[in-house]
A and B are shown apart, each in its own frame.
Chain A
């Protein structure tokens, strides 16, 4: 019971921090990403992949220390994804969809997660950051940011529509204001697919209780390794035991409390289900040193070698992509993103930046950044633009893949460059006034200036209009021009990544290759 309260509390904290990950009225929002820093898998994998330990991950030491001493309490009592799985396992059990078996024959599957861990770590050695695909927190945050929260926002919108339909407009107003304050992003490419993956992970609980935690979770596997020597034991008092086997049948993670010598310390998450289900109260929890020999998951040496070899062989495949050879035009990274190879080593695809983005501009990449870069953030100006006085994505990145920036630093960062497609631009082609792009350009002086252009019209007359031209020294690539361009389908002004500060190769004009810190305040053309 206390455990359920603990799980509910941490899950609520997770939700609270996630919903706080947006513009709350202040420019700096504090460490809403703190959950990640307690995750030793992310700490170790990104440290190996990038050859640097990100300072915030020092908190992971707390989790490691706790697990070394007391076992995998974190999995059973804290992990919000674990809570999700346990909740649905409970529901599926109640619904008789999930029936625990008397004889659990699938103990071999317990080893899967250790193999996944090996793949993740060997990948890291080769600077391929696979951890983001498999880490429980990355998975949970990504699913919520790009799937569950947009779903919630749409349900909200439907409800608001219903209120207005029922003439309850004051309720509708209140609800609309409430959702407005939450500023939830609703549009994500691959959002449907990412939601399906989450749904799949939840449905796996029909097959086995806490399927993810038992068989798949590499973070759980890592903690399992650490828990080998812990002093918190689960024991059955054989004087009281009636050998009903209920404890082992209902064990959430197949840790086998009965018989005593087969209890798997590495699998136990201390959920206390065994104790509460025992009809004779025979299960107790002594504190003592581990015996010489303890029951553990059978990791066959042959398979360990095989998996390591597989990962060794597979890692270079991730690098077979033109992404490393030549920057992709449409790969606009968030401001403060590290140079691409470093960025890929550190980004754990958690979508925190996408949740924080005020305009929904950051989207999970599909093919823009190569296979390693799937689900890493990419800025899509047609969906949203980079808000000038905003550095939220840089603040919430848990691994430092996006370097934390102050607002003053951020407004100087160039993430790309804007280009005019004169064939589609209204003044250039149609001879009509527009220059919406110039109006929205946030820099001062504006990076979009205009020239007077003469356009031959179909009737043979000539129109003269103000038409946009780009001053690339001033353009920061924020994409608001593309976003607001009235040519809806294929905007007449668009941004590409060229000229981005973070890259030494993806450059354009020699004059603009100074490091950002050396760029002086742009000369005032009005003086």
Chain B
């Protein structure tokens, strides 16, 4: 009887586990016309969401909802990418999926105009506003930021998925996944600009997402980080899913024709051992859908 049960478990999960152990890549770069389809494909290429999410997990998805802009202006994460991730997370057995961000413009506006609140809710996610009462001063143990006020929602979760969008930024040159963590904290965020590169790396080291799904369907090439005109964006039609946040950042830098050495924060991240900028050290799956 026991053997039988074990046998069925092996039959049920064995193949996928074995397959993962053998071929699961570290990163998938998928290009295609539909944001939803390339997101789905990216996760499939990484070996499925089950690789990251266990049954009954509480999952937090952190897109960039910072600005009161429509998806076409590429200031906020593509809502279809977010929605697809919510769906896949539930399919993988997540008990609860939350999507939230500490916005810069009025939260109600950003949640509505970005299309993210509606999209994520339609897939069954909770989309709450950040709540000051959930702010807690935490030891970040960073090299610059020793402690900071963090929204506990992003810490008290089983799994954390970072879903940034790739954008131009005047100070750090690019704002992608590491800078996205400024949306998970409170306090005087405007002071972080004084050492933005160090701050981004300290936050990235603190939050350590299980997965980064980078939305590069539309990328913002100038006037960042909020753009404002269609002519500010470039259609890249790509999603990068990666277990290595630094590598994802490196790939995105390529879309802007920036080498990783040119980005100060990537140098710091590399030194801190947060990931690789040399993509040859990773297994990368590239596909077009």
Residues of A within 8 A of B (CB): 23, 25-26, 160-161, 164, 172-173, 176-177, 180-181, 183, 358-359, 387-390, 426, 432-436, 438-440, 442-446, 450, 466, 484-486, 524, 526
Q: Are A358 and B227 in contact (CB under 8 A)?
A: no
Complex Cα distance, B106 from A160, in Å, reads 21
Given A160-B133, A444-B229: A434 in contact with B106 (beta carbons within 8 A)? no
Residues on B with C-beta less than 8 A from A358 are 106, 108-109
Smallest Cβ-Cβ distance to A182: which chain B residue? B108
Q: Name B53-86 residues within 8 Å CB distance of A.
A: 68
Instruction: Give 12 pairs: A residue, B residue, CB < 8 Å, sorted on A.
Output: A23-B108, A23-B109, A390-B109, A432-B194, A433-B195, A435-B171, A439-B193, A439-B226, A444-B223, A444-B228, A450-B170, A526-B222
Which residues 186-205 of B sit at the A interface, judged by CB distance below 8 A?
Answer: 188, 190-191, 193-196
Q: Which residues in B have their C-beta under 8 angstroms from that of A438?
A: 170
Q: Given contacts A389-B109, A389-B113, A466-B171, is CB(A436)–CB(B190) below 8 Å? A: yes
| CB-based contact A177/B128 at 8 Å | yes
| B68 contacts A389, C-beta separation under 8 Å | yes
CA distance A439 to B228 in the complex (A): 12
Set of chain A residues within 8 Å of B191, measured between Cβ atoms:
486
B131 within 8 A of A: yes
Query: Hey, what's the 0/1 contact readout for B124-146 against A, CB within 8 Å counting as 1?
Result: 00001101111000000000000
- In the complex, A383 Cα to B166 Cα: how many Å? 31
A181 to B131 CA separation, bound complex (whole angstroms): 12
Q: Which residues of A contact B113 (CB under 8 A)?
A: 389
Which residues in A have their C-beta under 8 angstroms from that of B109? 23, 358, 387, 389-390
Instruction: Give complex CA distance A436, B223 in Å.
Output: 13
Q: Are A524 and B231 in contact (CB under 8 A)?
A: yes
Let me know if A433 and B193 touch, CB within 8 A.
Answer: yes
Cα A51 to Cα B228 in complex, Å, equals 41
Most buried by A among B132, B133, B226: B133
The verdict on A466 contacting B170 (CB below 8 Å), with A23-B106, A180-B131, A446-B223 known, is: yes
The reply to whether the CB of B112 lies closer than 8 angstroms to some CB of chain A is yes
A390 vs B228: C-alpha distance in the bound complex, in angstroms? 14
- A384 shortest CB reach to chain B, Å: 9
B126 to chain A, nearest CB (A): 9
Known: A25-B108, A177-B128, A442-B228. 14 other contacts (CB 8 A): A25-B112, A161-B133, A176-B132, A180-B107, A180-B128, A181-B129, A183-B106, A387-B68, A389-B109, A433-B171, A434-B193, A444-B228, A444-B229, A446-B223
Please give the residue numbers on chain B whose beta carbons come within 8 Å of chain A beta carbons, in ascending order. Answer: 68, 104-109, 112-113, 128-129, 131-134, 169-171, 188, 190-191, 193-196, 222-223, 225-229, 231-232
Inter-chain CB contacts under 8 Å: number? 91
Residue from B129, B170, B190, B194 within 8 A of A485 (CB atoms): B190
Residue of B nearest to A483 (CB): B190
Shortest CB–CB separation between residue B152 and chain A, in angstroms?
10
CA of A176 to CA of B135, assembled, Å:
13
Alpha-carbon distance A257/B229, docked complex (angstroms) = 69
In the complex, which residues of chain A have a beta carbon less than 8 angstroms from the beta carbon of B226? Answer: 439-440, 442, 444
Cα of A389 to Cα of B114 in the assembled complex, Å: 13
Q: Which of A387, A389, A426, A466 has the most CB of B within 10 A?
A: A389
List of 6 A-B pairs having minimum Cβ-Cβ separation, nearest first: A444-B228, A180-B129, A176-B131, A486-B190, A358-B106, A436-B190
Interface pair B106/A387, CB less than 8 Å apart: yes
Q: In whole angstroms, how far apart are the Cα atoms of A524 and B228 in the complex? A: 12
Contact A484 B190 (CB under 8 A): yes
- Residues in B with CB closer than 8 Å to A387 are 68, 105-106, 109
Given the complex, which residues of B lie within 8 Å of A484, measured CB to CB? 190
Residues of A within 8 A of B190 (CB): 436, 484-486
Query: Are B222 and A439 in touch, CB under 8 angstroms?
Result: no
Instruction: Please report the C-alpha to C-alpha distance between residue A444 and residue B72 in the assembled complex, in whole angstroms.
Output: 14
Enumerate chain B residues within 8 angstroms of A183, measured Cβ to Cβ: 106, 108
B232 to chain A, nearest CB (A): 6
How far, in angstroms, from A180 to B111 measured CA to CA in the complex? Answer: 12
Return the chain B residue nearest A181 by Cβ. Answer: B108
Cβ-defined contact, B194 with A433, below 8 A: yes
Interchain CB contact under 8 A, B131 and A440: no
Tell me the minimal C-beta distance from A450 to chain B in angstroms. Answer: 7
Q: How far is the CB of A278 from chain B (nearest CB, A)?
A: 53
A residues in contact with B229, CB < 8 Å: 444
Nearest-Cβ distance from residue B183 to partner chain A, whole angstroms: 14
Across the interface, which residues of A come within 8 angstroms of B134, CB to CB? 173
Please indicate the chain B residues that have their CB under 8 angstroms from the CB of A26 in the complex.
Answer: 112
Q: How far is the CA of A433 from the CA of B265 in the complex (A)?
A: 14
A23-B106, A23-B109, A439-B171 known; A434 vs B133 contact (CB < 8 Å): no
Contacts of B133 in A (CB 8 A): 160-161, 164, 172, 176
In the complex the two chains form, is B170's CB within 8 Å of A435's CB? yes
Report the minimum CB–CB distance from A273 to chain B (whole Å): 44
Asked whether, in the complex, the Cβ of B228 is within 8 Å of the Cβ of A443, the reply is yes
Contact of B106 among A359, A433, A439 (CB under 8 A): A359
Chain A proximity of B128: nearest CB distance (Å)? 5
Hey, which chain A residues are within 8 Å of B106, CB to CB?
23, 183, 358-359, 387
Query: In this complex, what residue of B is CB-closest to A444?
Result: B228
Q: Name the A residues within 8 Å of B196 (CB-CB).
A: 433
Residue of A nearest to B104 (CB): A440
Residues of B within 8 A of A434 (CB): 193-194
**CB closest residue in chain A, given B226:** A442
Contact A436 B193 (CB under 8 A): yes
CA distance A276 to B40 in the complex (A): 72
Chain B residues within 8 Å of A444, by CB: 223, 226-229, 232
Task: List the B side residues contacting A524 at CB < 8 Å.
Answer: 231
Q: How long is the Cα–Cα vector from A426 to B191 in the complex, in angstroms?
A: 10
Q: Are A435 and B193 in contact (CB under 8 A)?
A: yes
Residues of A within 8 A of B107 (CB): 180
Alpha-carbon distance between A450 and B108 when the two chains are bound, in angstroms: 31
Q: Which residues of A contact B231 (CB under 8 A)?
A: 524, 526
Give CA–CA (A220, B107) in the complex, Å. Answer: 42
CA of A76 to CA of B188, assembled, Å = 51
* Distance from A448 Cβ to chain B, minimum over Cβ atoms (Å): 9
| Residues of the A chain whose Cβ atoms lie less than 8 Å from the Cβ of B194 | 426, 432-434, 486
Chain B residues positioned under 8 Å from A359 (CB to CB): 106
Residues of B within 8 A of A526 (CB): 222, 231
Q: Which residues of B lie under 8 Å from residue A435 when comparing CB positions?
A: 170-171, 193
> Which residues on the A side are within 8 Å of B170 (C-beta)?
435, 438-439, 450, 466
Q: How far is the CA of A432 from the CA of B104 in the complex (A)?
A: 23
| Nearest opposing residue in chain B for A443, CB measure | B228
B108 touches A439 (CB 8 A): no
Report the separation of the CA atoms of residues A128 and B104 in the bound assembly, to the nearest whole angstrom. 40
What B residues does A445 contact at CB under 8 A?
223
Least CB separation from B106: chain A residue: A358
Q: Are A388 and B68 in contact (CB under 8 A)?
A: yes
Question: In the assembled complex, how far is the CB of residue A485 from the closest CB belonging to chain B, in whole angstroms?
Answer: 7
Query: Whole-angstrom distance between the alpha carbons of A183 and B193 in the complex?
Result: 28
Complex: how many Å from CA A214 to CA B223?
A: 60
Among B128, B129, B170, max chain A CB count under 10 A is at B170
Query: B residues within 8 A CB of A433?
Result: 171, 193-196
Chain B residues lying within 8 Å of A442, measured Cβ to Cβ, are 226, 228
Q: Closest A residue to B153 by CB, please name it.
A: A173
